[in-house]
Structures are given as structure tokens and as C-alpha cells.
């Protein structure tokens, strides 16, 4: 029997009206070079963003463009070197495209690694509740392991904990063995290689047993997760379809490898940076990452941003001339629509004090011309270069702030207080326990270790402290009561915990430090930071991952003033700008440093550092140097301007020779009081 066959018509899909209508006129908002990068298609992209060329603007509009084009914001990953950078970029993107930008995953390499490890880390033995050790805590753990292995007594010349930490950190961030690092950069400790290897293993074991990760571990373990767990790698790389990386020239080998693994599914990775501003080799960053990116990601499209929005053309002409001599680079030439402006000046001074006096005098003249102090900066290769200048500025009553010094989170008193908070949060944190115990009167390193051994075995650790008699008994009992009251409290708000511990810690602070009034202001600042958090774990993680910079201890000079000039190392000035910039000690042997003469790579980094210094200036630029100065360290007579100026045409610089009032023009006639 035949069945009746009915037909069902399949309709053809309706032709789309056309491409998705964009909500922003990108061509009107961006210059042609920026527009090309912002609207780039799929695949790997390298954006070479010259100094002051609108790098941040380009990244912001790229985020907006992707969302505007229909990309789910949760599929976008923005990696930066500071949390502030990512937050500001996403806020600006939100102003352009709306609140959907809040769903973009943005943060530092380490904060993103922290998040991913807490979600996926179990497959490689990392529990979600792990504790992050900051640099100081990591060093303390190394010291503890060193003591337990008996390496302190073995040889007094054994490297200090900070040096050991530096070795380990450089090994991990450069993907080289510890032995290789010791041989190449710490050869004077090569006799200790075997013991350092033992110590490294003990340190790693201690961390794993206590679920502790140091700062470097976050990326090390993320790389391990991505390499060993194919399912996790596939899920993560599918999640982040578009990856944007800021300041790529500052990445190390480990970070570059993490990026490569994160991009395995789609290869839609756009990195933005400037090879000419790669200046952090001492931190493990490598210039090679940005130069080799097209090799790491075949099919890379290179975009160049060359229009500068910061400086006048005379300053850019000098900067272009300096970087032209670089041995390896992406060729670019910065230009601006700000054609007019004074020529940069090269200033010869008889000695260091004459250099300082000139700067002080010139700043006062500029103030009369309407340049505020806040728009003036003095930059230098090394921190000690500014010591004489600091004295001179103080004499003239010119207030300044010096960038560099001990960071807020690294100060001993802040670390002391936070150690108590960490013990309450994670009773297995032996590093924090050790620091807390040593603050108690009558407790030395040996007693602290004995107490630690008993605490980790005890069901009720606070009872261990209460059971101690003798000189340390009252202090340990007080500590136990303080910690137990917080551990047993339902109140987990950081501000209350910090406040409670502060009351306990204040007598200790007064006993340990003569300048405790200044230090109490730091602790007040810590309390203010804590007020912005609801959970203690988030508070502690953020302090470890993105610590605040400022400290009131030994940072400021002169009276507080709303208007202060800046003294800064060039490394600390990167990314900043001022109307007027002085670069001091531009003398061969100081800048570039005599130490850089040994290898071509080091000398090239010094050239890039000089380029960064020059490009901080918007309108006024002064390069100053004392002549005929004997450098005790190198044994050299420093008598000529920096070699980086050798190829600079005379029409790009005004040359000024300082003379003493009264017409005496002989440099040697007025003795420099500092020589």
C-alpha cells in the first residue's frame, strides 16, 4: 500500500540587510593609523605605539569596537601591568559603548592568573583557598628553609634571602634553570649552586604543603595548568576569544608563553607596545618578545602609531634622531601637529652643584612664565644622582616629591600588621606566624621555630601560646587572645580586623620604632584601604597582587604643598609627562652607565631609556651634565656628553654654557663645593 507523500517547503534564509550598524563614528574619533588598528580583523596583531601616540585611546576604542561589532564582552580579555590601567580603560570603554563593557575580563597578568587558578587549579593540586605570599613573606619563608637546612651556619658568605629570591624569580620569569641564572648573573655564588638547588626544592615543597603561592608562582602555575590540563586550556582559550595586551614590550618570557597558550583556540591576540620603550630587563622583561612576536604568531599584521599628541616637533626631532641609531627596532618616525616650540637645550655645568643651581634657578624663571611646579620633573638614570639637587631645591624652598623609595606595602610596620590578619585568615600560613611570633617580647628565632612546630600540630593552636611561661608568656597570651577573638568572630570585614589588630599592635610599634608617629599614618592609610572591601580574602589578595605605592615614611621632602615638582628615576617616570623636563647627569659614564659598556644589549637598553626620558617632555627639555667629574666607582674621568648625542645635529639642540654672575666664564675659576 502506497503512502501519500506530503511536501514541506524549506524557506531560504532571509538575506541580512547588511553589516551590523555601528553606534560610534570611529573614523571621526581616531586618526587613520589608530583606526586601522581598532578595526583590525581576526588573527594576531602587533600595534607599535610610539611615545604619546594615543596607545590607551586605541585600546579603549578596540574594546568598544569589538563589543559594537557583536562580540560578547565576556569573551574579551584585557591584560595590563596595573589594575588601575585596566579599570580606567574599561571605564572609558563604558563611556563609549555602555555598561556591557563591565563584563570584559580586565586585570593584571597576576590577578587574572589568580582568578583562573582558583577556578581550575585543582587539576594540578592547587586548592581554591590558597594564600598569596608577597615578596617579603616569600623571602621570610626562604630564610626559614635556609635555617632548617643548616645553611646559615655552614657558610657566612651564603647569599642573603633577598638575593636567593631574586635568583629564583629570575629563573622562573625567564624560563631558565636556576643553575644557569647563578652561573651567568651570580657567578660569585657558584660554589653554593648545589645547596641553593636544595634550598629551592625545600622552598617549593613548603609552599605546596601549606597551599602558599608566591607572586611568580601565579604565572608559573597558570602556565603549568595550560600545558598539562588540555581540557582547562581548551575551555579558557575558547572563553577568551579576543585577547588584548598592553605594554607588551615589558613582558618576560613566562608572560609571553602564557599569552601564547591562552590564544591557542582563536589566535585573536592583539599586543600593543613600543620596542623603543623596552627598559625593564633588570626585572626579567625581554626586548626580544616584541621583536619576535610575528615569529611566535605567524600571519601577524603590524600597525604603527606615529602621530604624537604630547610633545612639540623639536623634541620629537631629537627623540627620532636618538632612536635612529638603535641596532634593532621597528622603524618609525614620530610627528605632531604642534610644530612650534623651543629647541631642547644641552647645558654644560662646571660641576654637580652648578648643575643643581641652574635647575633651581631655571625652575623659578619658568614659574614666573606661568609653568606650575606640578608640571616640572627632573629625571635621572640612578637615584643617587639627585642627592645634591635635593639639597639645593630645599635651600630655594622648592617643594618636591621623589619617586622611588620603599613601597607602602613593603614597609615593616605594614607587613607586621598584615601578618596578623593573614594568620587569622589562614592558620597554616607559617610565614606570617613566624613574623607575628618574633614581635612578641622574649621570642627569638629558635623559640619561634619551636612554637611553630607545636602550633601546626595542635588542634587548638592558641592554647599552645597560652601554655608558655617565662618572659614571653604574657605577650604570647595577649597574642592568643587577640587572634582567637578575631578567628571566632562572625565579623569578617577587613576594616574591623585591621582596627582590632592595630589596637594590639600599637604598643609594639611604639617600642620598635622611634618614628612611630609617621608609621601610624601608614597604618591609618591601611585602615582606609580596608574600608573599601567587604571580604578579607579579597582584601589580602589585592594587597599582594596590586599594592598601593605611596608611603608617608621617607618619601616627601620639604613642606607639604599642593604644588610640588617631581624628582624621579626614568624607570619610574615611564608613561608620565610634564611641560618641562630636566634630564640630569647626561654625561658618558653616568648615562649611559659605565656598567653598560660591557655588552651591546645593555648599551642598547640605555639608549631606549634615554629615549623614554626625552619623550616625557611636552614643551621644555633641558639635558644637563657636569664636566670633568671623577667617578670613584669606575675610576673614569667623565668629561663629555652622553654618546647618545654624538650623532645629533647641532641644529636640533641649543647648547648653553653656564657662567658665574660677574662675567667670570672660566669653569675652573669657581670651585665646586662638592669636589
Question: How does DSSP classify residue 307?
Answer: B
pLDDT at 555: 37
Say whether pLDDT at 190 is over 90: no
Listed in sequence order, the residues at least 6 apart from 494 whose beta carbon sits closer than 8 Å to its beta carbon are 421, 530, 531, 533, 535, 536, 539
Q: How far apart are CA 613 and CA 542, in angstroms?
A: 31
Say whether pLDDT at 549 is over 50: no
Q: How far apart are CA 570 and CA 518, in angstroms?
A: 28
For 217, the grid coordinates are 608562582
The mean pLDDT of the chain is 85
Phi, psi of 177 (to 5 degrees): -70, 155
Burial of residue 174 (number of CB atoms within 10 Å: 0-12, 13-18, 19+): middle
Place of cell 609653568: 371
Q: How far apart are CA 95 and CA 111, in angstroms?
A: 24
Alpha-carbon separation of residue 302 from 40, 331, 366 (angstroms)? 10, 12, 41
Q: Tell me how many degrees the CA angle 346-312-352 measures, rounded to the nearest 5.
A: 25
Query: Average pLDDT of 306-321?
Result: 95
For 246, the grid coordinates are 598592553
Peptide bond into 581 cis (omega under 30): no
Percentage of the chain lying above the pLDDT 90 cut: 48
pLDDT at 13: 56
pLDDT tens for 586-622 read: 998 888 887 788 788 889 999 999 999 999 999 999 9
Q: How far apart are CA 534 and CA 547, in angstroms?
A: 18
* DSSP one-letter string for 194-247: HHHHHHHHHHHHHHHHTTEEEHHHHHHHHHHHHHH-HHHHHHHHHH-SEEEES-
Residue 664: pLDDT band (50, 70, 90) is: low
Place of cell 626559614: 144
Indicate the angle between helix axes 352-368 and 387-395, nearest 10 degrees.
50
Burial of residue 427 (number of CB atoms within 10 Å: 0-12, 13-18, 19+): middle
Q: Are 202 and 149 in contact (CB under 8 A)?
A: yes
Query: Average pLDDT of 267-285?
Result: 87
Amino acid at each position: 500500500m502506497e503512502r501519500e507523500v506530503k511536501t514541506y517547503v524549506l524557506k531560504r534564509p532571509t538575506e541580512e540587510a547588511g553589516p551590523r550598524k555601528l553606534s560610534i563614528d570611529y573614523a571621526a574619533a581616531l586618526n587613520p593609523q589608530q583606526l586601522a588598528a581598532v578595526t583590525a580583523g581576526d588573527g594576531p596583531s602587533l600595534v607599535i605605539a610610539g611615545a604619546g601616540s594615543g596607545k590607551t585611546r586605541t585600546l579603549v576604542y578596540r574594546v568598544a569596537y569589538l563589543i559594537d561589532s557583536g562580540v560578547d564582552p565576556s569573551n574579551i580579555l584585557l591584560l595590563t601591568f596595573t589594575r588601575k590601567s585596566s579599570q580606567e580603560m574599561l571605564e572609558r570603554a563604558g563611556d563609549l559603548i555602555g555598561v556591557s563593557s563591565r563584563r570584559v575580563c580586565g586585570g593584571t597578568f597576576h590577578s587574572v592568573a589568580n582568578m583562573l587558578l582558583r577556578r581550575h587549579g585543582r587539576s594540578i593540586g592547587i586548592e581554591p583557598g590558597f594564600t598569596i605570599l608577597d615578596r617579603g613573606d616569600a623571602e621570610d619563608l626562604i630564610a626559614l628553609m635556609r635555617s632548617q637546612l643548616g645553611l646559615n651556619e655552614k657558610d657566612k658568605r651564603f647569599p642573603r634571602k633577598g638575593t636567593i629570591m631574586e635568583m629564583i624569580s629570575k629563573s622562573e620569569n625567564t624560563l631558565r634553570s636556576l643553575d644557569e641564572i647563578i652561573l651567568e648573573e651570580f657567578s660569585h655564588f657558584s660554589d653554593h649552586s648545589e645547596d641553593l638547588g636544595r634550598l629551592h626544592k625545600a622552598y617549593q615543597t613548603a609552599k605546596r604543603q601549606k597551599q602558599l603561592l608566591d607572586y611568580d608562582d601565579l604565572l608559573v602555575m597558570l602556565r603549568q595548568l595550560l600545558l598539562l590540563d588540555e581540557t582547562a586550556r581548551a575551555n579558557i582559550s575558547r572563553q577568551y576569544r579576543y585577547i588584548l595586551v598592553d605594554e607588551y614590550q615589558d613582558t618576560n618570557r613566562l608572560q609571553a608563553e602564557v599569552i601564547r597558550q591562552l590564544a591557542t583556540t582563536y589566535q585573536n591576540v592583539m599586543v600593543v607596545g613600543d620596542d623603543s620603550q623596552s627598559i625593564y630587563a633588570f626585572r626579567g622583561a625581554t626586548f626580544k618578545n616584541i621583536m619576535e612576536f610575528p615569529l611566535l604568531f605567524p600571519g601577524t599584521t603590524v600597525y604603527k602609531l606615529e602621530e604624537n599628541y604630547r610633545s612639540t616637533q623639536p623634541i620629537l626631532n631629537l627623540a627620532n634622531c636618538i632612536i635612529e641609531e638603535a641596532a634593532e627596532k621597528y622603524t618609525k618616525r614620530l610627528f605632531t601637529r604642534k610644530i612650534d616650540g623651543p629647541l631642547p637645550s644641552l647645558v654644560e655645568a662646571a660641576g654637580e652643584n652648578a648643575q643643581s643651581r641652574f635647575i633651581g634657578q631655571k625652575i623659578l624663571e619658568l614659574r614666573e612664565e606661568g609653568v606650575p611646579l606640578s608640571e616640572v620633573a627632573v629625571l635621572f638614570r640612578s637615584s643617587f644622582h639627585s642627592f645634591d639637587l635635593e639639597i639645593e631645591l630645599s635651600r630655594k624652598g622648592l617643594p618636591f616629591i621623589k619617586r622611588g623609595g620603599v613601597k607602602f606595602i613593603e614597609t615593616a610596620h605594614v607587613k607586621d600588621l598584615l601578618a596578623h590578619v593573614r594568620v587569622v585568615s589562614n592558620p597554616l600560613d607559617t610565614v606570617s606566624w613566624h613574623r607575628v611570633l618574633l614581635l612578641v617580647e622574649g621570642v627569638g628565632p629558635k623559640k619561634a621555630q619551636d612554637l611553630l612546630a607545636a602550633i601546626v600540630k595542635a588542634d587548638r593552636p592558641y592554647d599552645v601560646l597560652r601554655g608558655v611561661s617565662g618572659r614571653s608568656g604574657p605577650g604570647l597570651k595577649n597574642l592568643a587572645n587577640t587572634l582567637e577573638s578575631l578567628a571566632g568572630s562572625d565579623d569578617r570585614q577587613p576594616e574591623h580586623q585591621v582596627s582590632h589588630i592595630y589596637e594590639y599592635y600599637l604598643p609594639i610599634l611604639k617600642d620598635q620604632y622611634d618614628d612611630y608617629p609617621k608609621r601610624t599614618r601608614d597604618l591609618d592609610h591601611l585602615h582606609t584601604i580596608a574600608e573599601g572591601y567587604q571580604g578579607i580574602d579579597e582584601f589580602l589578595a589585592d594587597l599582594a597582587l596590586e599594592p598601593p605605592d605611596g608611603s608617608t615614611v621617607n618619601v616627601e621632602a620639604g613642606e607639604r604643598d599642593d604644588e610640588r615638582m617631581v624628582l624621579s628615576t626614568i624607570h619610574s617616570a615611564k608613561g608620565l609627562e610634564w611641560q618641562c623636563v630636566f634630564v640630569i647627569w647626561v654625561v658618558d659614564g653616568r648615562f649611559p652607565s659605565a656598567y653598560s659598556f660591557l655588552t651591546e644589549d645593555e648599551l642598547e637598553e640605555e639608549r631606549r631609556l634615554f629615549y623614554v626620558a626625552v619623550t616625557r617632555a611636552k614643551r621644555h627639555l633641558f639635558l644637563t651634565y657636569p664636566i670633568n667629574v671623577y667617578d670613584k666607582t669606575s675610576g673614569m674621568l667623565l668629561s663629555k656628553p652622553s654618546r647618545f648625542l654624538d650623532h645629533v645635529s647641532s641644529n636640533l639642540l641649543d647648547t648653553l654654557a653656564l657662567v658665574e654672575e660677574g662675567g667670570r666664564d672660566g669653569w675652573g675659576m669657581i670651585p665646586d663645593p662638592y669636589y
